[in-house]
């Protein structure tokens, strides 16, 4: 069983060598009487929160750290080979928590969902129809309380979550601007995902001036994916009673000390609601989300871009691409096609 094993806790920028390609063994049958299941992994999801799991545990955290010497685990799409659980049987396709290896023993099948709509591209269950999709849905509709015509800004806008938030906001009739880190991504935002405007934050000397250019009347909703100096500039440009949904702060994940934010007093003066959220609290909404989004996908009213890397051995480099911005859309690792 080929595996990607976590070497040791990481400080600073993660490296490929922090994840080691090795071979282990696995029994492809579950023990008699066990509720576990054995799966063959098809697609693995690379997600920014995995960087937080590489850190040494240091007090209470929202996710467990990886265990040095054990395979990395995360979200993926898999096929059930054997199951002791009444809800799953051989041949079922599932998405949810699995390992970075060819085959995995899933001892807690309550962390996986059965895939009912197998006519969709299966890799979508790492993105659009999986955890990032639900993040975009819950974050935008539940946390941002959007209204038609509002001014919406999204950072890391071309990524797994951002590209969806922008399209959801357009469906709602909002004015939508995104920031991303390359010309190719800006083109996608404007020409593929239908954002009204987009800019490359790496080419802006003054983020405050850039935001003023696109939002002369200010921002009602900021979907926060990056943190740091972008958040500071956004605070200056929020409108009265604006909402900031704090989904993530990827610019801070590899820093030993987070960057200072200087404009927080704007929360008071402009009566802004800034709210952090975790998708794990919204899993009960998954069926509703799926029912809502499937028709839009089928009618091509929502599109999705994935960045697929072939081969388990390339999973470490795929994960690191998230932090260099090399990924164009949802970063997926293809382990096997069926």
Which residues contact ligand NDP (rule: CB under 6 A)? 47-49, 132, 135, 156, 159-162, 180-182, 185, 225-226, 247-251, 277-279, 322-323, 325, 327, 330
For residue 273, the 8-state DSSP code is E
84 versus 325: smaller Cβ distance to ligand NDP: 325
294 versus 328: smaller Cβ distance to ligand NDP: 328
64 versus 299: smaller Cβ distance to ligand NDP: 64
Q: Rounded to the nearest whole angstrom, what is the least distance from the CB of residue 274 to ligand NDP in the complex? A: 14
Q: For strands 73-83 and 37-45, give the pairing.
A: antiparallel
164 versus 174: smaller Cβ distance to ligand NDP: 164
Q: Rounded to the nearest whole angstrom, what is the least distance from the CB of residue 71 to ligand NDP in the complex? A: 21
Q: CA-CA distance, 81 to 58, in Å (whole number)? A: 37
The residue nearest ligand NDP at its CB is 159
Q: How far apart are the first and last CA of the chain?
A: 16
105 versus 138: smaller Cβ distance to ligand NDP: 138
316 to 65, 112, 206, 310, 338: CA distances (angstroms): 16, 23, 34, 12, 22
Residue 77 pairs in a beta bridge with 43, 95
The closest of 77, 101, 86 to 36, measured between CA atoms, is 86
Q: Rounded to the nearest whole angstrom, what is the least distance from the CB of residue 279 to ligand NDP in the complex? A: 4
Cβ neighbors of 335 (< 8 A, separation 6 or more) are: 41, 42, 43, 44, 76, 102, 311, 312
Q: Rounded to the nearest whole angstrom, what is the least distance from the CB of residue 278 to ligand NDP in the complex? A: 4
263 to 125, 156, 240, 251: CA distances (angstroms): 38, 21, 15, 17
Alpha helices, DSSP H only, in the chain?
Answer: 49-52, 131-137, 162-171, 183-191, 207-214, 228-237, 266-269, 286-298, 315-324
Q: Rounded to the nearest whole angstrom, what is the least distance from the CB of residue 275 to ligand NDP in the complex? A: 11
Q: Rounded to the nearest whole angstrom, what is the least distance from the CB of residue 328 to ligand NDP in the complex? A: 8
Q: Rounded to the nearest whole angstrom, what is the least distance from the CB of residue 141 to ligand NDP in the complex? A: 14
92 versus 307: smaller Cβ distance to ligand NDP: 307
Q: Rounded to the nearest whole angstrom, what is the least distance from the CB of residue 161 to ligand NDP in the complex? A: 4
175 versus 253: smaller Cβ distance to ligand NDP: 253
Q: Would you call 189 helix, strand, or coil by DSSP?
A: helix
């Amino acid at each position: 069983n080929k595996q990607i094993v976590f070497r040791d806790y990481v400080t600073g920028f993660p490296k490929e060598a922090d994840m080691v390609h090795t071979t282990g063994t696995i029994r492809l049958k579950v023990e008699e009487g066990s509720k576990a299941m054995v799966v063959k992994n098809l697609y693995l999801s690379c997600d920014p929160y995995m960087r937080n799991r590489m850190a040494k545990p240091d007090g209470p955290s929202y996710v467990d750290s990886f265990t040095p010497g054990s395979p990395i685990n995360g979200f993926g799409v898999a096929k059930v080979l054997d199951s002791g659980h009444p809800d799953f049987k051989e041949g079922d396709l599932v998405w949810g928590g699995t390992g970075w290896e060819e085959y995995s023993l899933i001892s807690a099948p309550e962390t996986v969902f059965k895939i009912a709509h197998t006519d969709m591209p299966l890799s979508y269950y790492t993105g659009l129809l999986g955890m990032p999709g639900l993040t975009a849905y819950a974050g935008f509709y539940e946390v941002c309380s959007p209204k038609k015509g509002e001014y919406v800004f999204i950072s890391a806008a071309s990524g797994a979550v951002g590209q969806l938030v922008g399209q959801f906001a357009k469906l709602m009739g909002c004015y939508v601007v995104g920031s991303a880190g390359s010309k190719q991504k800006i083109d996608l935002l404007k020409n593929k995902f239908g954002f009204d405007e987009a800019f490359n934050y790496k080419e802006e000397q003054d983020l405050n001036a850039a935001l003023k250019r696109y939002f002369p009347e200010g921002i009602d909703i900021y979907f926060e994916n990056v943190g740091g100096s972008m958040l500071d500039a956004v605070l200056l440009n929020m409108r009265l009673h604006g909402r900031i949904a704090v989904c993530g702060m990827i610019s801070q994940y590899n820093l030993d000390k987070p960057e200072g934010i200087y404009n927080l007093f704007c929360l008071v003066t402009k009566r802004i609601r800034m709210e952090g959220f975790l998708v794990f609290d919204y899993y009960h909404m998954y069926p509703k989300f799926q029912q809502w989004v499937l028709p839009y996908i089928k009618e091509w009213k929502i599109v999705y871009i994935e960045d697929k890397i072939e081969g388990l051995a390339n999973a470490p480099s795929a994960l690191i691409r998230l932090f260099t911005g090399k990924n164009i859309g949802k970063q997926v690792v293809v382990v096997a096609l069926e």
